[in-house]
Structure 1
Amino acid sequence: MSKRRQARLGDLERVIMDHLWGAGGSQTVRDVYTALAERREIAYTTVMTVLDRLAKKELVVRERDGRAWRYQPAQGRDALAAEIMDTALGVDAGERSAALVAFADRVTPEEAALLREALAAVEAAGDKPRTKR
């Protein structure tokens, strides 16, 4: 994650990202505005500003399409969630360990089983978890 990039999303940013993830392709500001305006009162310029902010955070990529920009997520929802979790765990090894223990204490038995399966799959594949910088 670059120093400029911040994975944390505000409420409207999350709504827009949810729309982009579900869209199945790149979207113009007009496309996003039209979809959102059906469910909530929102200004076109607000959508444009939020998409620009998401591009600056490197959460969406944009490309020119005539006079308009087309936006699409830079990564999938799961990858972003993992990045947010990784950031939240902290950089210091002690903080990271404590956060992982606290997290493990809060998961349901079903979630714990999923975590065990995921860890086993990573281990079986011979992948080593990357180290924190």
Structure 2
Amino acid sequence: MTRRDHLERAVLECLWDHPDGLTAPEVVDLLAERQPALTTVHTVLDRLRAKDMVLRERDGRVYRHRAVRSREEMTAQAMLAVLQDSADHHLALSMFVRSVSSADAESLRKALGAGEKDRPTRRRPS
């Protein structure tokens, strides 16, 4: 992961922790230990906006930024992207399932069960 990716992730973390949105100076304050310049944070926010990851809204004389998708949605999207890179989806999923904790495996079972209820049933032709 590049330095830019780390900073984008840190900015997203700030936005996820503040769902009402943040101004660029507020992000700089929250990332004080990294000491990013305000112009750098503006650039990162613009890049995230171009990737449709951040929404910018006028708030008086400044812009307030909010994450478009939740942390969990972004995680799921990243997991799906990695799965798409696999030549053998079944093998990749099998290896993943064998490597998760028993608590995570139970969460997967519940999610799959809930997903089955939401899927339309196919009717066989008579």
TM-score by length of structure 2 reads 0.81
Q: Does 1:107 align with 2:100?
A: yes
**Structure 1: gaps (5+ residues):** 1-8, 129-133
Offset of residue 34 of structure 1 = 1.5
Aligned match for 1:49, one of 24, 43, 51: 43
Offset of residue 102 of structure 1 = 2.1
Q: Which has the higher helix share?
A: 2
Aligned to 2:10: 15
Q: Equivalents in 1 of 2:19, 2:68: separation in Å?
A: 13
Moved >6 Å (runs of 4+): none
Aligned length: 117
AA in 2 matched with 1:53: R
Offset of residue 67 of structure 1 = 4.4
TM-score by length of structure 1 reads 0.77
Offset of residue 112 of structure 1 = 0.8
Taking only the aligned residue pairs, the percentage that are identical comes to 38
Q: Please give the root-mean-square deviation of Cα atoms over the aligned residues, in Å.
A: 2.0
8 Å CA contact 2:19–2:67 kept in 1: the answer is no
Q: Equivalents in 2 of 1:25, 1:126: separation in Å?
A: 31
Aligned to 2:56: 62
8 Å CA contact 2:22–2:65 kept in 1: the answer is yes
Offset of residue 116 of structure 1 = 0.7
8 Å CA contact 2:28–2:35 kept in 1: the answer is no
1:1-20, Cα deviation, whole Å (9 max, x unpaired): xxxxxxxx921111111110
Q: Secondary structure in 1 aligned to 2:20?
A: coil
Aligned to 1:127: 119
**Structure 2: gaps (5+ residues):** 121-126
Q: Secondary structure in 2 aligned to 1:27?
A: coil
Q: Does 1:28 align with 2:23?
A: yes
1:87-110, Cα deviation, whole Å (9 max, x unpaired): 111077x53223212211211122
